[in-house]
Amino acid sequence: MSVKHGHHHDIDTEGTDSWRLRHEGGAEKVVLAGPEGFAVMGVWGAEGESSLQEVTSRYLREADVVIAEGYKGASVHKIEVWRSGMGNSLLYEPGGLGEDLYLAVVSDSENLDMPIPTFHFDHSDLFDVLADLIESRVLKSGNVSG
C-alpha cells in the first residue's frame, strides 16, 4: 500500500455530484465508491494535516508495508530518490540527524560514495533489490518505524 504526500491534489471536479456534496452541501468527507475502486475526499479539521502515522493507522491499518512518497520529516525508514540535475542536495547526510533511518539512495548519479547502499535508476532488478533490502533491514529485524 502507498501514501502520496504533496500539494494541490484535487480529484474533486467542480460541477460533479461529489463536488456539490462537499462545496455546496457542506459534507465534511465524501467517499467515491464504485466497482473500480474508491477515494476519500475531505479537509483536515481544525488540528490541521495529519501525520503519516495517523494517516496510515486510520486508512491503511491492515498493511504490512506502506510506501510513502513525501513526508521527508517523518521518523520512518527512508529510501531517498535523488536526481543530480534537479539542483537539490541529497537529504541524506552521513553523520546527520536521522542518518539511521536511511536504508539507501537511488539516483541517476554514478559517483555517489556513501556508507549506505546506492543504486542507479537503471539497475536491472532495482525493485527486487529494494524489496530485499526492506525485508532484511526492516521486516525481519522487527525494526519497524512509526
Helix (H) or strand (E) holding 42: strand 37-42
Single-letter residue type at 19: W
How do the domains of the chain map onto residue ranges? 1-62, 75-146
pLDDT, tens only, 54-83: 999 988 889 888 899 988 889 999 999 999
pTM of the predicted model as reported, rounded to 2 decimal places: 0.75
pLDDT, tens only, 76-126: 999 999 999 888 999 999 999 899 999 999 999 988 999 999 999 999 999
Number of neighbouring beta carbons within 10 Å of residue 92: 22
